[in-house]
A and B are shown apart, each in its own frame.
Chain A
Amino acid sequence: MEYEDFVTGVRDITPAIPPNIPFGMLFGATAVEVGIAPLEAVGMSLFMFAGAGQLAAVDLLRTDTALPIVLITVMVINVRYMIYSASIAPLVRDLSRRWRAVMGYALFDINFAILTSKFQIDGETKESSSRVSNIHRGWYYLGLTVPAVGSFVIATYIGALAGGAIGDGLNLEFAIPLIFIALLAPSIENFGTLMTVIAATVVSVTTVGLPFNTGLLVAIICGVLAGVSVDNYDRIRTRVSP
């Protein structure tokens, strides 16, 4: 039964694995390019397992950013995991502490999306068949997660070896901002998110000279404030208008 639930998880995550592989390879290659050892890159993929967060760390270490700022920035970029954690918490309330401690590792966009679509938030199953409600959520989660982490780690190692072989001169580190752009561009879906991006862009460029890269935090705060204020303004306006 438990084995079956694990296999169901593996089957459900499989279509989401291929896009993870180039991301892992790119991370490995760019990490090596900026002077991180292949094993260190693999360690980041295995222990952090946080694509954009890992890249942000590499990008900031490359420009000799102070460690506290690196840590804060990575936590800020990974804050979405906390939203995921809050969203799946009601789903896994009945699992043991040990199981939940395992689920705190490697929760990310895809296994979160699959988990929440398979089971409804109130703990009731979306599909009424008993087959779904009997699934052990811990084993199912592991089935979703192990292939995702495994393929990402292997891809990182391959990318790191390949990046080392390609060597300098190709400006491979330019892949870092390109990945950030690829993640950010499709997420601009309304005026609020657009204002966030514009404010963060302008402030980050104009504060580049500040010591220890503190301008980055200023830019993040300004970006969030810009988005939230537009969002609030929109909400007030819709409430006032008939």
Chain B
Amino acid sequence: MENLSSPMMWTVIALLSIATYLLRASFVLGIELIGELPPSVRSVLPFVPLAVLAALAAPDLAFADGSLSISLHNEYLVAGLVAFGIARKTESLILTVVAGMGLLWLLQLL
């Protein structure tokens, strides 16, 4: 992260913003040209964000200390799994984060 200079970082932000804009503007601006989204594509898309979120979160938990650790000694994994349960039950972003962070700090103290 430290090797990203400020101009470089703003370039990354610009690229990400343009890419995000193009996704949002795609059909709103171009519906006359590209028509509607085919049903086959429509049925695949709902799975995509779920796959991304899981693929991002899982290594953060399993490799929290730099090496693979799938055991109760991995405080990050335990806190993350409990947070998963809380998220399912409450569907609240803030409760999930607060409970997960709190549990992590507690486990690290023990």
Contacts and interface: CB of A to CB of B under 8 A. Distances in A.
A110 interface: no
Contacts of B47: 192-193, 196, 223-224, 227-228, 231
Interface residues of B, number: 69
Interface class of chain A by DSSP: helix
B28 to A, nearest CB: 5
A204 B10 contact: no
Nearest to A182: B96
A100 B50 contact: no
A43 B10 contact: yes
Given A80-B48, A182-B93, A97 B12 contact: no
Interface size class of A (residues with CB under 8 A): 35 or more
B28 A89 contact: yes
Nearest to B97: A178
A182 B51 CA distance: 14
A47 B17 contact: yes
B62 to A, nearest CB: 5
Given A170-B105, A174-B100, A178-B96, A61 B54 contact: no
Interface class of chain B by DSSP: helix
Contacts of B79: 174, 178
B101 A85 contact: no
Contacts of A16: none
Interface in B15-57: 15-17, 19-21, 23-29, 31, 36-37, 42-57
A19 B93 CA distance: 8
Given A40-B6, A47-B17, A231-B43, A183 B93 contact: yes
A83 B87 contact: no
Contacts of A128: none
Contacts of A227: 47, 50-51
A62 B1 contact: yes
B7 to A, nearest CB: 11
Contacts of B23: 75, 78-79, 81-82, 85
Interface of B: 1-4, 6, 9-10, 12-17, 19-21, 23-29, 31, 36-37, 42-64, 68, 76, 79-80, 83-85, 87-88, 91-94, 96-97, 100-101, 104-105, 108
